[in-house]
């Protein structure tokens, strides 16, 4: 009709997800199979809170530097040479400034070694204590479920406060022509969804696809965290495709991974809104592929970001030992209680001053008191003795006394007198260093989703 503006039809947008976490690796054959599909984006999530609070507090990556550099080298070299944007989120594993800078150092090394020239975008996820304290005053902080209210005292005790950024900082840097983007703590799907959303693709479909691609081939069957996957975003659906002949996507595997790490099967919340899956369908698309339809993004009206931070709680030491005596195994609970009492009597130390834990593998080492199988049938046990003190010296001393008390503890019916424990390592005691706990796991309302600091570097 004359005078009517026709809506431009969007072509398929292809996203190559290389690995579940940068540094986990991927087969070169899968990567190059993905490159031959001519992707519009190469992306990887580089972090997680799964390894616990230590890495955020220590400013260290839980992934190996050599492995991360190997993955990045292939991704950046192919991306720059073929003109494909490369996007990395939650750099360095935890996404605070030390982690991002660690990753940037690797990127710069690769650029020098491969003689690559490109525009590098950086987005930091750090949030100052002053910003959080002001948000508390203005009642713009709320806890997640099972988390206490955030207090100014907790903020002051906390280290490396980060916020999960949404798609906005990525869109900003990509629009400014950055060929490689390295970001701090990120909402996992944002790494994959930002570029297509900026080009006009449906945000619900893009974010849902990103939710699946952030774990790469884990969502395929058999799943793997160290293999590539391809996502093909279209106007009304998206397709999931494995890049190894060993794997395929099925409706069941794709649907199951959609629910991964989620408590609500219908709504997946994130910065600025939620993905609504009530009308979502998963169907076979042939050749081991799956087509997904019906995902919708519902804006929340207010923009909330998730804050994460940790605080120091002490210093840890551990010792690993085995137990083979059936008499000792049958009395292990009472023996460990008596050993802890004896160690505390010797050290004159209260639970507030030093903590003692026994992790008994072969009995309830994984689930602890939640273990439903109460009768121990194992013929041997592995015991990890853990102590936490106010200093490393205190933790070491408490461990030494606890370990020797258990080694020579005289229980009723004991036959052997040489010792109760078999140690696989010498020295038997290991100083583990600082212990952190998550102190901030809250939502903060912000007016501007682009409050994160960004910068551009020419490499």
CA distance 72 to 104: 11
pLDDT tens for each residue of 167-201: 999 999 999 999 999 999 999 999 999 999 999 99
**Under DSSP, is residue 333 helix (H, G, I), strand (E, B) or coil?**
helix
pLDDT tens for each residue of 427-438: 999 999 999 999
CB 429 within 8 A of CB 420: no
CA distance 410 to 419: 9
pLDDT tens for each residue of 69-107: 999 999 999 999 999 999 999 999 999 999 999 999 999
In tens digits, the chain (459 residues) has pLDDT values of 344 445 678 999 999 999 999 999 999 999 999 999 999 999 999 999 999 999 999 999 999 999 999 999 999 999 999 999 999 999 999 999 999 999 999 999 999 999 999 999 999 999 999 999 999 999 999 999 899 999 999 999 999 999 999 999 999 999 999 999 999 999 999 999 999 999 999 999 999 999 999 999 999 999 999 999 999 999 999 999 999 999 999 999 999 998 888 788 899 999 999 999 999 999 999 999 999 999 999 999 899 999 999 999 999 999 999 999 999 999 999 999 999 999 999 999 999 999 999 999 999 999 999 999 988 889 999 999 999 999 999 999 999 999 999 999 999 999 878 899 999 999 999 999 999 999 999 999 999 999 999 999 999
CB burial of 397-408 (b: ≥16 within 10 Å; e: otherwise) equals: bbbbbbbbbbbe
Instruction: List beta partners, residue 281.
Output: 293
Q: Which one, of 18, 150, 159, 41, lies nearest residue 94 by Cα?
A: 159
Q: Where are the alpha helices (DSSP H) in 287-429?
A: 326-330, 332-347, 392-407
Q: Two tokens at 79?
A: 């991306």
């Amino acid at each position: 009709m004359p005078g009517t503006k026709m809506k431009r039809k969007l072509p398929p947008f292809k996203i190559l997800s290389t690995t579940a976490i940068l540094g986990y690796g991927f087969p070169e054959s899968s990567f190059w199979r993905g490159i031959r599909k001519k992707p519009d984006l190469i992306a990887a999530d580089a972090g997680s809170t799964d390894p616990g609070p230590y890495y955020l507090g220590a400013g260290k990556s839980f992934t190996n530097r050599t492995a991360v550099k190997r993955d990045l080298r292939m991704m950046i070299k192919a991306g720059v040479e073929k003109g494909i944007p490369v996007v990395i989120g939650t750099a360095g594993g935890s996404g605070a400034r030390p982690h991002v800078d660690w990753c940037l150092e690797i990127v710069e090394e690769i650029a020098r070694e491969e003689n690559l020239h490109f525009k590098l975008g950086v987005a930091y996820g750090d949030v100052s204590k002053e910003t959080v304290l002001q948000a508390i005053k203005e009642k713009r902080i709320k806890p997640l479920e099972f988390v206490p209210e955030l207090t100014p005292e907790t903020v002051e005790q906390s280290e490396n406060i980060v916020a999960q950024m949404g798609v906005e900082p990525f869109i900003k840097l990509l629009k400014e022509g950055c060929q490689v983007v390295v970001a701090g703590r990120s909402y996992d799907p944002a790494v994959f969804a930002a570029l297509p959303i900026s080009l006009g693709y449906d945000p619900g479909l893009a974010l849902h696809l990103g939710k699946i691609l952030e774990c790469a081939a884990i969502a395929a069957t058999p799943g793997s965290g160290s293999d590539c996957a391809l996502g093909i975003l279209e106007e009304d659906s998206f397709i999931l495709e494995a890049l190894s002949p060993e794997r395929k996507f099925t409706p069941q595997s794709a649907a199951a991974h959609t629910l991964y790490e989620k408590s609500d099967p219908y709504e997946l919340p994130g910065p600025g809104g939620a993905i609504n899956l009530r009308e979502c369908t998963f169907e076979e698309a042939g050749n081991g592929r799956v087509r997904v339809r019906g995902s919708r993004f519902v804006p929340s009206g207010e923009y909330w970001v998730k804050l994460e931070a940790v605080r120091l709680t002490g210093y840890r030491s551990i010792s690993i030992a085995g137990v083979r005596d059936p008499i000792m195994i049958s009395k292990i609970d009472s023996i460990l209680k008596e050993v802890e009492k004896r160690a505390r009597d010797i050290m004159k130390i209260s639970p507030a001053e030093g903590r003692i834990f026994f992790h008994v593998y072969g009995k309830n080492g994984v689930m602890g008191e939640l273990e439903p199988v109460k009768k121990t049938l194992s013929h041997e046990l592995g015991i990890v003795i853990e102590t936490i003190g106010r200093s490393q010296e205190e933790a070491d001393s408490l461990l030494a006394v606890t370990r020797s008390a258990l080694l020579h503890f005289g229980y009723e019916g004991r036959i052997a007198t040489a010792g109760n424990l078999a140690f696989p390592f010498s020295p038997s005691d290991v100083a583990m260093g600082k212990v952190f706990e998550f102190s901030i796991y809250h939502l903060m309302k912000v007016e501007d989703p682009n409050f994160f600091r960004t910068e551009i570097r020419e490499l």
